[in-house]
């Protein structure tokens, strides 16, 4: 019995290693993947129909933690599309979004981020221009 468990563990490690290798290989072949996903999700959240916002919000913290540079690039791009008044409002909204949010995927942190993301969506849709 112990041998079977040990063999299953070794097989699992090989599978995990292969999956990690394939994921890294895919990311290397698509260097803009995180940036594209970040922009798509934020654009859907801010400019898309409201019935889709919950499904869009759930992966956003994970994506932001996986590639903080993609989030920063999106934020900078969005800020550059707004006039100076809206830039100040948007910067304040982004600061509120990120306040008290940790760099972890703990359930309580995800819930807090999702609540803040809802408030972010509501406040920014009131003043953003396309």
pLDDT digits (tens, 9 = 90+) for 46-85: 998 888 788 889 899 999 999 999 999 999 999 999 999 9
Name the residue among 57, 70, 123, 126 with its Cα closest to residue 92.
123
Give the model's confidence band at 7: pLDDT under 50 very low, under 70 low, under 90 confident, else very high: very low
pTM for the complete prediction? 0.79
CB of 95 closer than 8 Å to CB of 87: no
């Amino acid at each position: 019995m112990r041998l079977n468990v040990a063999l299953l563990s070794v097989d699992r490690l090989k599978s995990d290693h292969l999956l990690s290798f394939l994921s890294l290989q895919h990311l290397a072949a698509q260097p803009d993947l995180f940036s594209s996903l970040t922009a798509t999700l934020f654009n859907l959240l801010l400019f898309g129909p409201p019935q889709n916002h919950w499904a869009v919000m759930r992966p956003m913290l994970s994506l932001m933690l996986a590639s903080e540079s993609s989030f920063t690039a999106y934020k900078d791009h969005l800020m550059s599309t707004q006039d100076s008044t809206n830039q100040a409002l948007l910067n304040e909204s982004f600061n509120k979004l990120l306040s008290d949010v940790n760099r972890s995927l703990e359930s309580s942190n995800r819930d807090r981020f999702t609540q803040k993301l809802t408030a972010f969506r509501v406040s920014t849709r009131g003043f953003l221009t396309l």
